[in-house]
Structure 1
Amino acid sequence: MPSYFSRILLAASIVLLLTDHSFAQRDPGVRGGLQNTGGGLQAQGIKIPVPPLIVRNGNTQISDNEKRSFYEGILRAGQLESSCDNCAMVTDGSPAPKNPINGLKELDPIFPQFTTNSNGLGARHNADQCFGCHFQPTLGGSGGFLVPNPVDLAKFGPGAARPPENPQFDLIPHRFGKQNIVPSFEERYGPIREVRFIHKVDANGDFIRDSNGALIADGGVHQLWTVKGISNDPTIPNCSLTQPNFEKQLRQNNLAFRIPLQMTGLGLIDSIQDREILARQAATQGARTALGIAGRPNRSGNDGTITRFGWKAQNKSLTMFSGEAYNVEMGITNELFPTATEEDPACNGPNKPEPNDVTRMDSDDEINQSFFNPLHVLADWMQFTLLMRFTDGPQPAPNPSPSAIRGRQLFSDVGCALCHTPTMQTAPVMNSAVLQNRPVNLFSDLLLHDMGAGLADGVSQGQAGPSEFRTTPLWGVGQRIFFLHDGRTSDLVDAIRAHRSNGSEANAVIGAFSNLQISDKQAILDFLRSL
Structure 2
Amino acid sequence: MRNSTHQQWTKATKFALVSVAALSATSSLATELRDSHLNILPRTNQERTRIDAVTAAPEDFNAPQRFEDLSAGAATVRVRNDADTFSQPSANISFEQELDFKVGNGLFKKIWVSSPSSTLASDGLGPLYNARSCQRCHIKDGRGHTPNGQDDSAVSMFLRVSIPGTPEDAPAEIKDYIATLPDPNYGGQMQDFALAGHPAEYRLDITYEEISVELSGGETASLRRPTYKAADLGYGPLHPDAMLSPRVAPQMIGLGLLESIPVEDLLTKADPDDEDGDGISGRPNIVWSKEFGEPMIGRFGYKAGMPTVMEQSSAAFAGDIGISSPLYPAPYGDCTEAQINCIEAPHGDNDVRGFEIDEVGMDLVAFYSRNLGVPARRNTEDPTVLRGKEVFHTSGCASCHTPAYVTHRMPDRPEHSFQLIWPYTDLLLHDMGEDLADNRPEARATGREWRTPPLWGIGLTQRVSGHTQFLHDGRARNLLEAILWHGGEAQTARDTLVSMSITDRDALIRFLESL
TM over 0.5: yes
- Whole-Å separation in 2 of the counterparts to 1:359 and 1:82: 17
Q: Cα distance 1:262–1:356, how it changes in 2: closer, same or farther (>3 A)? A: farther
* TM-score for both structures, normalised by structure 2: 0.64
User: Which letter maps to 1:428?
Assistant: R
User: Which letter maps to 2:320?
Assistant: E
Answering whether residue 484 of structure 2 is matched by residue 497 of structure 1, we say yes
Spell out, residue by residue over 1:38-63, the C-alpha distance to the aligned partner (whole angstroms, 9 max, x if none).
Answer: xxxxxx98537443224xxxxxx422
Answering whether residue 238 of structure 2 is matched by residue 243 of structure 1, we say no
- Whole-Å separation in 1 of the counterparts to 2:106 and 2:380: 32
Q: 1:65 aligns with which of 86, 92, 96?
A: 96
Aligned to 2:88: 51
Aligned to 1:305: 296
Spell out, residue by residue over 1:66-96, the C-alpha distance to the aligned partner (whole angstroms, 9 max, x if none).
Answer: 22111111111111111125254xxx66xxx
Matches within 5 A, 1:188-267: 192-197=156-161, 199=163, 221-229=188-196, 239-244=197-202, 249-250=229-230, 255-267=244-256
Spell out, residue by residue over 1:448-502, the C-alpha distance to the aligned partner (whole angstroms, 9 max, x if none).
Answer: 00111111101111111100000011111112321111111212111111102xx
Spell out, residue by residue over 1:352-392, the C-alpha distance to the aligned partner (whole angstroms, 9 max, x if none).
Answer: 243789579xxxxxxxx9xxxxxx98543332101012222
Q: Secondary structure at the match of 1:47?
A: helix
Answering whether residue 384 of structure 2 is matched by residue 403 of structure 1, we say yes
- Whole-Å separation in 2 of the counterparts to 1:86 and 1:308: 37
Answering whether residue 511 of structure 2 is matched by residue 527 of structure 1, we say yes
Q: Cα distance 1:476–1:134, how it changes in 2: closer, same or farther (>3 A)? A: same
- Whole-Å separation in 2 of the counterparts to 1:470 and 1:357: 40
**How far 1:291 sits from its partner (Å)?**
2.8
- Whole-Å separation in 1 of the counterparts to 2:375 and 2:273: 28
Q: Cα distance 1:198–1:246, how it changes in 2: closer, same or farther (>3 A)? A: farther
Q: Secondary structure at the match of 2:141?
A: coil
User: Which letter maps to 1:410?
Assistant: V
**How far 1:259 sits from its partner (Å)?**
0.7
- Whole-Å separation in 1 of the counterparts to 2:116 and 2:261: 38
Contact kept in structure 1, 2:128 and 2:193, CA below 8 Å: yes
- Whole-Å separation in 1 of the counterparts to 2:160 and 2:352: 25
User: Which letter maps to 1:224?
Assistant: Q
Contact kept in structure 1, 2:158 and 2:190, CA below 8 Å: yes
Matches within 5 A, 1:91-102: none
Spell out, residue by residue over 1:137-177, the C-alpha distance to the aligned partner (whole angstroms, 9 max, x if none).
Answer: xx2222259xxxxxxxxxxxxxxxxxxx85x9757xxxxxx
Question: Can you give the 5+ residue segments of structure 1 that lack an aligned partner in the other structure?
Answer: 1-43, 55-60, 94-117, 146-164, 172-181, 201-215, 230-238, 361-368, 370-375
**How far 1:397 sits from its partner (Å)?**
2.3
Answering whether residue 351 of structure 2 is matched by residue 352 of structure 1, we say no
Aligned to 2:62: none
- Whole-Å separation in 1 of the counterparts to 2:87 and 2:247: 24
Q: 1:461 aligns with which of 436, 439, 442?
A: 442
Contact kept in structure 1, 2:192 and 2:204, CA below 8 Å: no
Contact kept in structure 2, 1:127 and 1:330, CA below 8 Å: yes
Contact kept in structure 2, 1:456 and 1:468, CA below 8 Å: yes
Q: Cα distance 1:289–1:497, how it changes in 2: closer, same or farther (>3 A)? A: farther
User: Which letter maps to 1:524?
Assistant: L
Answering whether residue 307 of structure 2 is matched by residue 316 of structure 1, we say yes
User: Which letter maps to 1:74?
Assistant: N
Q: Cα distance 1:87–1:227, how it changes in 2: closer, same or farther (>3 A)? A: farther
Aligned to 1:272: 261
Contact kept in structure 1, 2:145 and 2:157, CA below 8 Å: no
Q: Secondary structure at the match of 2:156?
A: coil
Aligned to 1:74: 105
**How far 1:242 sits from its partner (Å)?**
4.3
Contact kept in structure 2, 1:142 and 1:260, CA below 8 Å: yes
Spell out, residue by residue over 1:413-471, the C-alpha distance to the aligned partner (whole angstroms, 9 max, x if none).
Answer: 11100100011121023302111000221100000001111111011111111000000
Q: Cα distance 1:454–1:333, how it changes in 2: closer, same or farther (>3 A)? A: same
Aligned to 2:328: 337
Q: Secondary structure at the match of 1:405?
A: helix
Contact kept in structure 1, 2:86 and 2:253, CA below 8 Å: yes
- Whole-Å separation in 2 of the counterparts to 1:298 and 1:260: 20
Relative contact order: is structure 1 or structure 2 higher (C-alpha 8 Å, sep ≥ 6)?
A: 2
Q: Cα distance 1:198–1:351, how it changes in 2: closer, same or farther (>3 A)? A: closer
- Whole-Å separation in 1 of the counterparts to 2:346 and 2:485: 49
Aligned to 1:121: 125
Q: Secondary structure at the match of 2:246?
A: strand
**Identity of aligned pairs, percent?**
28
Aligned to 2:397: 416
Matches within 5 A, 1:16-27: none
Aligned to 2:470: 483
- Whole-Å separation in 2 of the counterparts to 1:333 and 1:67: 26
Question: Can you give the 5+ residue segments of structure 2 that lack an aligned partner in the other structure?
Answer: 1-80, 165-179, 206-227, 232-239, 462-467
User: Which letter maps to 2:478?
Assistant: D
User: Which letter maps to 1:442?
Assistant: P
User: Which letter maps to 1:64?
Assistant: F
Q: Secondary structure at the match of 1:278?
A: helix
- Whole-Å separation in 2 of the counterparts to 1:195 and 1:357: 34
User: Which letter maps to 1:354?
Assistant: D
Where is the strand percentage greater, Structure 1 or Structure 2?
A: 2
- Whole-Å separation in 2 of the counterparts to 1:357 and 1:498: 50
**How far 1:402 sits from its partner (Å)?**
2.4
Contact kept in structure 2, 1:198 and 1:218, CA below 8 Å: yes
Contact kept in structure 1, 2:269 and 2:282, CA below 8 Å: no
Aligned to 1:12: none
**How far 1:240 sits from its partner (Å)?**
3.5
Aligned to 1:143: 144
**How far 1:269 sits from its partner (Å)?**
0.5
What is the root-mean-square deviation of aligned Cα atoms in Å? 3.4
